[in-house]
Amino acid sequence: MVPNTLAGNGEEENVRLRFTDIKDFEPEQVARQIPQLRAMLAMRNLLRDLKSNLLDNATFRKELEAILKDPALSQELRDEMCALAPK
| pLDDT tens per residue across span 39-65 | 888 888 888 877 776 666 777 778 888
User: What's the pLDDT score for residue 86?
Assistant: 64
The pLDDT, as a whole number, for residue 24 is 95
Helices (H), the chain: 27-32, 35-51, 57-69, 71-84
Task: Report the predicted TM-score, pTM, of the whole model to 2 decimal places.
Answer: 0.55
Question: Could you give the number of structural domains in the chain?
Answer: 1
Identify residue 20 by its one-letter amino acid code: T
With a cut of 80, say whether residue 29 has pLDDT above it. yes
Domain limits for position 21: 2-84
Cα–Cα distance for residue pair 85/29, rounded to 1 Å:
29
3-state class percentages of the chain: helix first, strand second, coil last, to nearest 5:
60, 5, 35
Region for residue 41 given its phi and psi (left: phi exceeds 0; alpha: psi -120 to 50; beta: otherwise): alpha
